Chain A
Amino acid sequence: MFAELTVTELLTDAGGAIAGAFGYWRESGRFVLFRAPAVVLATGGIGKSFKVTSNSWEYTGDGHALALRAGSSLLNMEFVQFHPTGMVWPPSVKGILVTESVRGDGGVLRNSDGKRFMFDYVPDVFRKNYAETEEEADRWYTDPDNNRRPPELLPRDEVARAINSEVKAGRGSEHGGVYLDVSTRLSAAEITRRLPSMHHQFKELADVDITAEPMEVGPTCHYVMGGVQVDPDTAAAENVPGLFAAGEVAGGMHGSNRLGGNSLSDLLVFGRRAGLGAAEYVTSLNGNYPAAEASAVQAASAAALAPFDTEQGENPYTLHQELQQTMNDLVGIIRKESEIREALERLSSLKARASKVSVEGHRQFNPGWHLALDLKNMIAVSECVAKAAVLRQESRGGHTRDDYPQMSSEWRQKNLICRATYDAFGMGEVSVTEQPSPEIRADLLALFERDELAKYLTDAELPAAAEAQA
């Protein structure tokens, strides 16, 4: 285990197969070279590119950027999940997650009028599965077989959009969120038994006793469903032999929106597949391991040292804050074309500025230096997100377009693939193209009722469904 070590570059041989990785020890700043025929990326998400996020400092899209630079591709980066219930106050905890199980255990969402507003936001496509009255919803916790679940448990993107609308309409809480209440729903003893961590968090940091009062919550950038394009069985990354990815960094598993709890099961299943896939691949090499070129190692070293060599450059923290504000405001929960295009212009300028940041001090545990290096990863990934977001002209899951508010069955058939090319100075150009998504297998189609399929598939795809059910 190499604790507190950051990889800055993947190394490939002349043919583009993985030969190893280059990085630095955070503690000493010294460089390290790993010679390895296979690399499994498990680097998590991209939340740090957004101002309000549940993610901590590591989530700078490193794995995504490493894959791009190594020649692989990213899938559907437009699908970013904004978890509806992040803490909103005080500022020290803004964005920190209030787990979905608070709602699963009986917690309800109310606006400033005291109304359970989620009942007004059940979309047609889900209407059959959710309770229509508060009484029915309340019965669900103890009798789920005969009652439908409360609308607070709609998929996260629905709840996040609902909260956003309520706040915009002026029915939000004191600090710009809504109220998540569990105090009038469960006894104090039940609350401290089932939600000890939440109780502690709110008590210590916000002076709120959740057994006696509601919590203020609001949307926070939490997860990215898009990611490295991988084979579902081996977790092998597209186009780069020896590269594998699993977990949040890999894309496609959760479609346009991930359900609560599925990230953990994802890690277990696809982490194992990635390990097996990598082991099998290495065995197949029969000892002929690809070797990195010395020039690549030197280039990686020079790129890592660049912020120290730049004179009078910009402060990386300033750029980071501008990036976060840009993504939050212009490529956030509700997107529209003009705003995303403005974001793309700002990102382009940030990219140029990021190549000229300078840091003071030396390499020993220097957070400013670490940020300067992470910045280029964040910007590259943000460009992918924005370019994909402007292309997809529909609203689906985590991607909501104000100018295209409906789901489109034509768009369902398309995936958006992000690749990057790099010039001699390491400056990257990101491009996103359409790719048809695989046809759904007939045996899988046969599992669904026809009118359920009609909500999602084009007419052209439906006759195939009718046959499959015949």
Chain B
Amino acid sequence: MTYKANFKVWRGDAEAGDLQDFQVEVNDGEVVLDIIHRLQATQASDLAVRWNCKAGKCGSCSAEINGRPRLLCMTRMSTFTQEETITVTPLRAFPVIRDLVTDVSFNYEKAREIPSFAPPEGVAPGEYRMQQVDVERSQEFRKCIECFLCQNTCHVVRDHEENKESFAGPRYLMRIAELDMHPLDSLDRKRQAQDEHGLGFCNITKCCTEVCPEHIKITDNALIPMKERVVDTKYDPLVWLGNKIRRRS
């Protein structure tokens, strides 16, 4: 059943921008990305948006719909009433390039700060041996499609630009957890997680979990266990005593 919907889409660039009003056709079974494409084809040929797979797998089409961080290709038009005005805006936590396209390089910088998987000395690819039960712990985190919706939503950086330097964000703290829980990873990532990647900033409000399109339990399964691991060594009185005696900080 076809109807005409009211859309407000943010248009502009790094200098200035505003919400532009559109009236646009909607057909049965369509998603918000289909509507954006229709706007491009018929009313605003230079409307900038990132997209690719249309199946919720590539993480390209992240945006905010009625203020809520979502993937454009996975937001069905049937979840809105026909009378509702649908507002589409770019990811708030990242600098705007144009219209709905933002500069997400913050995330790539954070990614580079995390040392990659480090197998034990002398164990070559092909020689890794692990138990299924140990591997399963990290498997959930590998579903991440790097849509950066969690990175965008977490109030630690969404509302505080100044925290960006010291906070890696939920996706990368989860990555650290994934590697720390990996049975063959030989690095100790706990101190780094707390001191360099800002694990302590997380106060487990779970907004990241709420927006994750892959339904990964980021807070419960990655961040909280990671916090527990950090606290385990950081506040262990014997470790503290040992460090004090040997004058290590």
Contact = CB atoms under 8 A, between A and B. Distances in A.
B48 A366 contact: yes
Nearest to B14: A364
Interface stretch (B93-101, B124-132, B148-156, B234-242): B93-101
Interface stretch (A84-92, A389-397, A439-447): A84-92
Nearest to B101: A365
B45 A92 contact: no
B48 A92 contact: no
Interface in B125-164: none
A204 interface: yes
B33 interface: yes
Contacts of B58: 56
Given A318-B41, A368-B45, A91 B56 contact: no
A201 B56 contact: yes
A367 interface: yes
Interface string B34-75: 100000111001111101111111100000000000000110
Interface string A357-388: 00111101111110000000000000000000
Contact of A92 (B33, B52, B57): B33
Nearest to A318: B41
Contacts of A362: 46
Contact of A365 (B27, B57, B97): B97
Contacts of B98: 27, 364-365
B29 interface: yes
6 contacts: A92-B31, A205-B56, A359-B46, A365-B48, A365-B99, A366-B45
Given A318-B41, A365-B99, A367-B40, A92 B54 contact: yes
Contacts of A92: 29-31, 33-34, 54, 73, 76
A295 B123 CA distance: 56
Interface in B72-99: 73-74, 76, 97-99
B13 interface: yes
A93 interface: yes
A205 B57 CA distance: 12
A57 interface: yes
A201 B40 contact: no
B163 to A, nearest CB: 26
Interface string B99-139: 10100000000000000000000000000000000000000
A315 interface: yes
Contacts of B52: 56-58
A96 B33 CA distance: 15
A379 B31 CA distance: 29
Given A90-B28, A92-B34, A368 B40 contact: yes
Contacts of A361: 45-46
Contact of B46 (A90, A96, A197, A369): A369
Contact of B54 (A96, A317, A359, A367): A96
A367 B30 contact: no
Contacts of B49: 367
B40 A317 contact: yes
Given A360-B45, A365-B48, A368-B45, 20 more contacts: A27-B97, A27-B98, A27-B101, A56-B54, A58-B52, A91-B34, A92-B30, A93-B55, A96-B54, A197-B57, A200-B56, A205-B76, A317-B40, A317-B41, A321-B41, A359-B46, A362-B46, A365-B99, A366-B48, A367-B48
Contacts of B31: 92, 205
A175 to B, nearest CB: 9
Interface in A253-291: none
A366 B76 CA distance: 25
Contacts of B101: 27, 365
A360 B73 contact: no
A90 B54 contact: no
Contacts of A204: 56, 74
Contacts of B28: 90-91
Contacts of B40: 317, 367-368
Q: In this complex, which of B28, B34, B51, B98 has the most chain A Cβ atoms within 10 angstroms of its Cβ?
A: B98
